[in-house]
Structure 1
Amino acid sequence: MRMESHNNPVTSLSLNQSLEDAVQNRRFNRQALAGLSPADQKKFEAFGRGPERQISHHAIHQAFELQALKQEKAIAAQHKQENISYGELNRKASWLAVQLATMGIGQGNNVGLFLERSIHMLVGLVGILKTGAAYVPQDVRITPESTLIDVMDSADIHIVLTLSHLVEKIPVRDHQRVLAIDSLDFPKSEDQQSWSMTVPRSAASHGDNCFILFTSGTTGKPNGVRVTHGNVCNILLTAPGNLGIKPGYKVSQLLNIASDMAAWEILGCLAHGGTLVIRENDFTEAAKQCDVIIATPSILAKVDADQCQRIKSVAVAGEPCPRSLAENWAGRCRFINSCGPTETTIINTAQHFRPHSMALTIGKPTPNNTVYVLDEHMQPCAMGEVGEIWAGGKGVSAGYINNARLTRERYQPDPFMADGSLMFRTRDLARWNEEGELEHFGRTDDQVKVKGFRVELDAISNVIESAGLCQQAVTMKLNDKELVTFVRPANSSIEKCLKAIEDRLPYYS
């Protein structure tokens, strides 16, 4: 609710009443708020906690299986000239799960999904989830071999699913095995009875890992974030994260499979019965066919809104969104501007932006999530003061895989809920406005976004320095697409520096 005037008694009374209503049944620890004025305590509680919602499934693939049962012949995905129905995708994924289970894959394991966009990608993803294991996605075409090795070692991956033409790009060792999904001899649907009784009954629940996503680290070695089924179900099975997707809707799949926003596209679509339109080289062609687009602002800016006649919902995240871009799309469809690091599961704040909105913000906490603006001592900032975002609630992931030290640094007990749950330090700067929405003010560290990906500037500098190619390196963001590194001495080999970066870091670095 917007306050038109601080002197308007009716508006002030309405705001106070809405704050009182918002904190009903809240369980905030009042002692942790003692440094705030009584008025700010009410706002801290009202603004900082998203609505409470019940979640319909414990594991995200259960939502897909329900759709496959309800609409077996509906098209689940299309890519190039190929389609796959919900029934066929479910059968192939179930058969693959049987094969993986015979290899010892089950609850608590991690399976590599190292491939490129395809319908086989979906078969592999759902098949892994059906075993109770977590999938670990990488686009093998553009990921350095050293990164793939780091990912496999960190996630203790013994089996990698890929495509036949990419097998040679997987740097496996003696204890690891590669399966090309497109070369497997899937049985015909009429033969299902002969093997369906052996399909593993997944014990995966809300606390089990759904996927492991690797983000950039300051040393150049990626950090694996453990995202649970409960995390994923919380954002994708509630509004606004569900984006209104339903049977008959087409959802674009534009983004790199190693990003959390690709999980939003894929799992969000399949959980609600939509048709996933997997892009080819020209992503604008896929976007033009769809009812729902999920993208980074830089990708969305390349799509001609006038050609998207079906469009009903657009969601952006991953980078700051220009207001002009938001206004262009908000006049045509429902436009969601959102924010949230991988560690808080895709997004944890969202704004439904309208052409007449006073400001473009990153919005309010999503359901069952909390957001706090704290100072350097982890104390609540007064309303309107800029501080650092700490995020709590059901979206907070399970920490970094095999990195207890970093997990302890970034995940802390939530003193405001005081229920044993954790909150995550995002390092984003923000403040609350009068409408209870967050205005973003950049970051406290050297992390930047390039093409929607997180890049640690120190990682690039450290790679060059550790290779002994210069005495000192400093990296800066030049624009939304380019980074620039300064090295000294001046006679350092630029070619060798670039080669070191290409060998150790993802392409967007």
Structure 2
Amino acid sequence: YGELNARANRLASRLRTHGIGTDVVVGLALERSITMMVALLAVLKAGGAYLPLDPDYPAERLAHMLGDSGAKLLLTQAALLDRFAPALRTSGAEAWLLDTESGDGDDANLDLEIHPESLAYVIYTSGSTGLPKGVMVRHGAVTNFLATMAEQPGIARDDRVLGLTSLSFDIAVLELWLPLTHGAQVVLADRTAAHDPAVLKAMVARHGVTMIQATPSSWRMLLDHDETTDWLPGDGRVLSGGEALAPDLARRLTALSREVWNLYGPTETTVWSARHRLDAAESQPMLGGPIGNTTLYVLDGHLNLAPVGVTGELFIGGAGLARGYWQRASLSAERFVPDPFGADGARLYRTGDLARWRADGVLDHVGRADHQVKIRGHRIELGEIEARLREQPGVRDSVVVARELGGSRQLVGYVSGEDALDGASLRAALVPVLPDYMVPSRVMVLPQLPLTPNGKIDRKALPQPDARPSERAR
């Protein structure tokens, strides 16, 4: 801890000298290593806000995020510099290479007060207009989240937490900051290990990992690799979130560990807003109840409270709410609405999720009120993918849906337009401009998209694809 703190202080003092302070955004594009942890701490110690930039993202997306955020400094490494060259050119940002850390700077902690409303990080999520949007997360929201997570599921100084998730996915906040704020250890998996179940299981066993957080998709990857169950200590904690937890997977997880938690929350309310400890006898995993200083409301279309057992839209209020969207005031006003049940100035975030309260006070997740989906733990606005498809030559219209195919949830694209359109070519055109989890596994070309009587696309009438990665339907 002393070494990590000293290294972060040295970099933080350089950042302060460079003008990094309150609400100043700093881009981070680093391999998963000690250097990444030093840079994260240094940005926060200097008073700035970090912007995660995943090197695996398409260059065009990275350029938009860096430029849109207004970040004028990127902390990165020599091996990644070429990847960010277009983004640096268009944004005018300066790059600092952290491969060889400078010895300059003071080892002492900086004399700096952080206000709860100051930005801790800006993280970009999928946007319905075709461009990702930045969520502005406050220090007060992060500290509230960590404080309540320390109570349940809990953390102790002898815990060892697996750092598995990319910084661009906000659940990494729990994996990295929760153990470090309570004297525990982080076992950091690099990008290669994060996708290799054999390597991950060996790492968990070798380092005595006691807490693992992962999406249901990642848990399936680990559990399907082999039938062994001795790689995680029997008293370890299992955390699952980011997408719906299927009953069969819940049963497998409760057989793996005595303590399994199902977690729920959008980025806009700071990682997790609801939690539920699973009982092995449960037939259907629940969202549970709110974390500390958080309110959950199920409301009807008039923003009235829905009765117990009646489905409505889930709204979240309390200490975890983000400021809003970076430079998107109208969108912020649309999604962050006045709280009719709270004090003056209080807000609620409308999640777009459908839920209902059970008589025992536990929250059930029912589905989505819009066409936003989660794939492999990532929240995706299908409109962003549809907009990218419509940009392709010859495409007249497009729609993207999530389907259960081959035992997994996958994206399928449908387009109409010129006769020469080819699904495989259209899919290939999306690879350079979208993250891999947003590229449809199949693209079908239709003579025209089916419509409802009121002229809207009839998603229920879209044909079911077969096993081929792209196809033409007639």
For the superposition of Structure 1 and Structure 2, which TM-score range results when normalised by the shorter chain? 0.7 to 0.9
Q: Which residue does 1:245 correspond to in 2? A: 155
Q: Which residue does 1:176 correspond to in 2? A: 93
Unaligned runs of 5+ in 1: 1-85, 188-193
Give the CA RMSD over aligned residues: 1.9
Q: Which residue does 2:172 correspond to in 1? A: 262
Which digits, 9 at most, give the CA deviation of each residue in 1:257-304, with x for residues without a partner? 100111111111211121111114233333444100111011112224
Superposition pairs of residues 74-153 of structure 1, within 5 angstroms = 86-140=1-55, 142-153=56-67
Distance 1:391 1:319 in 2: 17
Q: Which residue does 2:110 correspond to in 1? A: 200
User: Which residue identity does 1:325 align to in structure 2?
Assistant: L
- Contact 1:133/1:210 (CA < 8 Å) preserved in 2? yes
Q: Which residue does 1:410 correspond to in 2? A: 335
Q: Which residue does 1:476 correspond to in 2? A: 401
Superposition pairs of residues 225-244 of structure 1, within 5 angstroms = 225-239=135-149, 243-244=153-154
Q: For residue 415 of structure 1, report the CA deviation from its aligned partner.
A: 0.8
Q: For residue 358 of structure 1, report the CA deviation from its aligned partner.
A: 6.4
Which digits, 9 at most, give the CA deviation of each residue in 1:312-371, with x for residues without a partner? 211111111122322333342211101110001111111111213464200001110000
Out of 482, 488, 491, which is 2:416 matched to? 488
Distance 2:171 2:231 in 1: 23
Q: For residue 248 of structure 1, report the CA deviation from its aligned partner.
A: 2.0
Q: Which residue does 1:384 correspond to in 2? A: 309
User: Structure 2 vs 1, CA of residues 324 and 186 (structure 1 numbering), >3 Å: closer, same or farther?
Assistant: farther
- Contact 2:396/2:416 (CA < 8 Å) preserved in 1? yes
Q: Which residue does 1:363 correspond to in 2? A: 288
User: Structure 2 vs 1, CA of residues 220 and 285 (structure 1 numbering), >3 Å: closer, same or farther?
Assistant: farther
Which digits, 9 at most, give the CA deviation of each residue in 1:73-112, with x for residues without a partner? xxxxxxxxxxxxx111101100000111111111110000
User: Structure 2 vs 1, CA of residues 254 and 260 (structure 1 numbering), >3 Å: closer, same or farther?
Assistant: same
User: Structure 2 vs 1, CA of residues 438 and 242 (structure 1 numbering), >3 Å: closer, same or farther?
Assistant: closer
Q: Which residue does 1:501 correspond to in 2? A: 430
Q: Say whether residues 1:155 and 2:72 are aligned partners.
A: no
Q: Say whether residues 1:461 and 2:389 are aligned partners.
A: no
3-state SS of the aligned residue for 2:137?
A: strand
Distance 1:311 1:483 in 2: 37
Q: Say whether residues 1:223 and 2:137 are aligned partners.
A: no
User: Which residue identity does 1:126 align to in structure 2?
Assistant: L
Q: For residue 168 of structure 1, report the CA deviation from its aligned partner.
A: 1.5
Q: Which residue does 2:242 correspond to in 1? A: 318
* Runs of 4+ in structure 1 over 6 Å off: none
Distance 1:88 1:344 in 2: 33
Q: For residue 414 of structure 1, report the CA deviation from its aligned partner.
A: 0.6
* TM-score normalised by structure 1 residue count: 0.78
After TM superposition, the structure 1 stretch with the greater mean CA deviation from structure 2, 320-329 or 270-279, is 320-329
Distance 1:310 1:96 in 2: 40
3-state SS of the aligned residue for 1:265?
A: helix
3-state SS of the aligned residue for 2:63?
A: helix
After TM superposition, the structure 1 stretch with the greater mean CA deviation from structure 2, 237-246 or 413-422, is 237-246
* TM-score normalised by structure 2 residue count: 0.84
Q: Which residue does 2:452 correspond to in 1? A: none
Paired residue total = 416
3-state SS of the aligned residue for 1:115?
A: coil
Which digits, 9 at most, give the CA deviation of each residue in 1:31-78, with x for residues without a partner? xxxxxxxxxxxxxxxxxxxxxxxxxxxxxxxxxxxxxxxxxxxxxxxx
Q: Percent identity at matched positions?
A: 34
User: Which residue identity does 1:178 align to in structure 2?
Assistant: A
Superposition pairs of residues 29-108 of structure 1, within 5 angstroms = 86-108=1-23
Q: Say whether residues 1:272 and 2:179 are aligned partners.
A: no
Unaligned runs of 5+ in 2: 224-228, 439-474
3-state SS of the aligned residue for 1:235?
A: helix
Distance 2:173 2:127 in 1: 21
